[in-house]
Structure 1
């Protein structure tokens, strides 16, 4: 039997999509030479509200994978689905972004380096600056059978304990993992740049492109697994910590905003609050729990149903919207960059955000309803919500007879 759909996951995906689009719209306007300080400060503060976006996609990807893991399916079939629904759209949009950023002269099309550069973009995307996420998340999909097998052993180990003891053990493991992840980010933000200068070229390249490596986001993947196996416990945690988490978030928000303003000087530098920074990690976890708790709270209020339906619809078409939004933003920027916006950069950012988010979702919806549109924007939103559960197994493995059970 298929498991019930977790409504707040789709809504959370919608929020994450909006956060990513807003983040990129802020990046488009905050570095313009004619921006004035009040707008620059406001955009810098607003930027910290978007930090949870991309890590939340990692969290939700893991939650869906582990939650739906209780029916046998061969690895070739599994990876074929992932390749069709995720990597093929990535390849299509990589070509689009590469072509749009190149010289359209006829000589360019006959140049072998034009196609060499296109192939390089499919490994390390630069023209589509947001497509790095697909390269990173696909690594989790490729290795997921190993993660699922490890999770199965953890489940078998925990079954010997009481429910209360299981929760305590999982909490202890997650706290240790959080500390290890924070240490990894400490090295990444403060030390790895210096390390790369003393290492061979291969390792230097790995460090330089560490944002593309799934290891740098493993904790959010672990959180998603915990949420999938202990959904009720996770919900309780998000609701119980909601009042306290509000104060934690406000404190971190003010601290990181102040740090960015102090360290940036005259020109705001958004990279100060990169994902791979320990303080940003704490902020993201706080935002993730806070957003989850608020969505659960809205489920109790019938007046919020229109808003939740909107988030649900956005979440259904968020992948295609994510792929398309940078192109829409570039098109709008072609007309806005020559303009002198003066003290209206903040307003222009918000208007651009609304237009980009809406048009990108419209593109995703359109392709999702066209024949063969899944090759452009992935599987249709409605199909994505109706995945059937499955358990992964390697070709030589025996078919599992028991379904996955919750840890808590």
Structure 2
């Protein structure tokens, strides 16, 4: 049975992709030698604004998965689709990324299977190690969620609060992954330890919140509309705190904010309120700006392949731009690299979609020359279909 398309997710996927690219560019240029203090302050602000990229995609994944599998699941079909449209593109683009990174002396094919498991083929591929684990255990998570959703409201709220508290404790004590690595592997290799470090548990609260959202989606949208001003106010306060935490080591006195329980609580709160703000924006665009929404809808299916490919484009753009215009203004240069990387990456994967069997290395059936391939809208996650 076809379900109504969740239009807001089209917008959120591309916002999330823009955030991913922003992190890799603005985070790299902020406080780089040669950048002025004012440039570094602005670049740091842009970096902080983009920080919720991964939590946003984890939440999108949860929303899309649970929405697409409310009916009894065929596990064989589920895993077959993930292998063909998520894992296979990941393998192909890992190879391409490693080949590209070798020219910068950044990577090699040593222990390739370990690189796939740990997401160490290139710095942005760590996300795949985490998300593939979520897909591996999703049938169990679906079974558990269907039992929780039948509980009385008080119990469901209690489980959510307990999940939040336990997550803060885990985030504060995330060094436990080093101990687990030693227990399991005795003397873990880099890939083995990275695999343990990239456990989905360190992003679990966003998956849990995503599940709660989709199981009460109409109430959630009403809540967003009712409290949008309070969400905006809370977001600004939390963003300013995270911005101060980011720049404080570079201010006179070099004060560091220690990552204690309060810091972890405020950081997670910032991530959640940033996602809520993005969701408010997505709802507005999807319902009030049809022309702009059409752009998001046409590019959203390529968000996964664009994520896999964007570092290749980023490196090429930065290198070529520096040849033509050697960096003097770090802010202007990084903004130009940012815009070009997003535009060229999306256009690249759209053109690649015209090739035969492109769905196996892009993770989508959508073709660039077809704005809508059927009357049915596909439910995509960041790493492929829902």
TM-score by length of 2: 0.84
Structure 1 pair 284/387, CA: closer, same or farther in 2 (3 Å)?
closer
2:11–2:293 CA contact under 8 A, matched in 1: yes
Matched, 1:215 2:194: no
> 1:33-112 counterparts in 2 under 5 A?
33-102=33-102
CA distance in 1, matches of 2:347, 2:120: 25
Structure 1 pair 138/199, CA: closer, same or farther in 2 (3 Å)?
closer
CA distance in 1, matches of 2:200, 2:305: 22
CA distance in 1, matches of 2:292, 2:332: 23
2:302–2:364 CA contact under 8 A, matched in 1: no
1:185–1:278 CA contact under 8 A, matched in 2: no
Give the alignment's Cα RMSD to 1 decimal. 3.2
For residue 290 of structure 1, report the CA deviation from its aligned partner. Answer: 1.4
Provide the secondary structure at the position in 2 that maps to 1:181.
helix
Structure 1 pair 234/185, CA: closer, same or farther in 2 (3 Å)?
same
> For structure 1, which runs of at least 5 residues remain unmatched after alignment?
106-112, 389-408
For residue 208 of structure 1, report the CA deviation from its aligned partner. Answer: 5.6
Q: Deviations over 1:88-147 (max 9, x none)?
A: 111011111111222699xxxxxxx96434333222233421111112111111111101
Matched, 1:258 2:244: yes
For residue 380 of structure 1, report the CA deviation from its aligned partner. Answer: 2.6
Structure 1 pair 200/142, CA: closer, same or farther in 2 (3 Å)?
closer
- Residue matched to 1:237: 223
CA distance in 1, matches of 2:184, 2:38: 43
2:93–2:361 CA contact under 8 A, matched in 1: yes
CA distance in 2, matches of 1:375, 1:198: 33
Structure 1 pair 180/335, CA: closer, same or farther in 2 (3 Å)?
same
Matched, 1:202 2:185: yes
Provide the secondary structure at the position in 2 that maps to 1:4.
coil
For residue 199 of structure 1, report the CA deviation from its aligned partner. Answer: 5.1
TM-score by length of 1: 0.80
2:85–2:363 CA contact under 8 A, matched in 1: yes
CA distance in 1, matches of 2:186, 2:164: 25
> 1:337-348 counterparts in 2 under 5 A?
340-342=326-328, 344-348=329-333
Structure 1 pair 321/299, CA: closer, same or farther in 2 (3 Å)?
closer
> 1:347-386 counterparts in 2 under 5 A?
347-381=332-366, 385-386=377-378
2:26–2:43 CA contact under 8 A, matched in 1: yes
> 1:1-400 counterparts in 2 under 5 A?
1-30=1-30, 32-102=32-102, 115-155=109-149, 157-158=150-151, 161=152, 166=153, 168-188=154-174, 192=176, 196=179, 200=183, 202=185, 205=188, 210-264=196-250, 277-301=264-288, 304-336=289-321, 340-342=326-328, 344-381=329-366, 385-386=377-378
CA distance in 2, matches of 1:367, 1:329: 17
Provide the secondary structure at the position in 1 that maps to 2:173.
helix
2:301–2:364 CA contact under 8 A, matched in 1: no
For residue 59 of structure 1, report the CA deviation from its aligned partner. Answer: 0.7
Structure 1 pair 277/363, CA: closer, same or farther in 2 (3 Å)?
farther
1:26–1:47 CA contact under 8 A, matched in 2: yes
For residue 210 of structure 1, report the CA deviation from its aligned partner. Answer: 4.8
- Residue matched to 1:405: none
For residue 214 of structure 1, report the CA deviation from its aligned partner. Answer: 1.1
